[in-house]
């Protein structure tokens, strides 16, 4: 479907979550975010903060998970949130696998509770060959490679070398 006039939500409005919503605004999407650690005035123009996690999933057509893994965020996206996202909803987890309850996600995809998902992180990495997400047609699965581009890999190598030199000096 067309994404224009749909709502993109992010769970975690840090550097990546804010960039995702900036890109979504460029596609004419409405944008909302849930992050209890970000002051309301820190949200960019056009990004509506929501006060409750459940509200994010109820209102969004697609939700990107972009929060750090902590004791508080582990399993933060589960059955309740997926049901709130609804049968046309899409979940993208490009953060950390354990933020999303894998069993709940697999069940939601199998039962068409949500339309689809894109996942590039798993509870165990690399994911085992018999991971249940690999069997589903309504999920896009990749390895955690978002930060591995032609430009970023050499830049990371240079950064690591510079850090070693700094410590040595």
Q: Is the pTM of this model over 0.75?
A: yes
Tell me the C-alpha distance between 4 and 105, whole Å.
Answer: 26
Mean pLDDT of the chain: 95
Q: Residue 160 corresponds to which tokens in the numbers above?
A: 């690591």
Mean pLDDT, rounded, for 134-141: 96
Q: Is 144 a catalytic residue?
A: yes
Tell me the C-alpha distance between 111 and 48, whole Å.
Answer: 31
Q: Is the pLDDT of residue 147 over 80?
A: no
Catalytic residue among 54, 83, 131, 144: 144
**Could you tell me the pLDDT band of residue 149, with boundaries at 50, 70 and 90?**
confident
**Gyration radius of the chain's alpha carbons:** 17
Cβ(49)–Cβ(32) below 8 Å: yes
pLDDT for res 30: 98
Which pLDDT tens digit goes with each residue over 32-82? 999 999 999 999 999 999 999 999 999 999 999 999 999 999 999 999 999
Would you tell me how many other CB atoms lie within 10 Å of the CB of residue 57? 24
Catalytic residue among 72, 124, 125, 135: 125
Q: Is the pLDDT of residue 156 over 90?
A: no
Q: Is the pLDDT of residue 146 over 70?
A: no
Catalytic residue among 66, 81, 96, 115: 96
Give me the residue label for tokens 């690999």. Answer: 134
pLDDT for res 95: 93
Q: Is 110 a catalytic residue?
A: no
The DSSP letter of residue 137 is T
pLDDT for res 19: 96
């Amino acid at each position: 479907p067309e994404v224009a006039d749909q709502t993109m939500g992010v769970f975690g409005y840090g550097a990546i979550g804010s960039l995702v919503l900036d890109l979504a605004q460029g596609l004419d999407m409405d944008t909302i975010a849930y992050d209890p650690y970000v002051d309301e005035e820190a949200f960019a123009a056009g990004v509506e903060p929501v006060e409750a996690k459940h509200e994010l999933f109820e209102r969004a057509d697609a939700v990107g998970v972009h929060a750090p893994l902590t004791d508080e965020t582990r399993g933060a996206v589960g059955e309740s949130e997926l049901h709130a996202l609804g049968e046309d909803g899409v979940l993208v987890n490009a953060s950390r696998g354990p933020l999303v309850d894998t069993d709940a996600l697999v069940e939601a995809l199998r039962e068409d509770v949500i339309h689809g998902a894109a996942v590039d992180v798993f509870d165990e990495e690399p994911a085992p060959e018999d991971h249940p997400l690999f069997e589903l047609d309504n999920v896009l699965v990749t390895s955690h490679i978002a930060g591995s581009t032609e430009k970023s890999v050499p830049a990371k190598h240079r950064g690591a070398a510079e850090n070693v030199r700094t410590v040595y000096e």
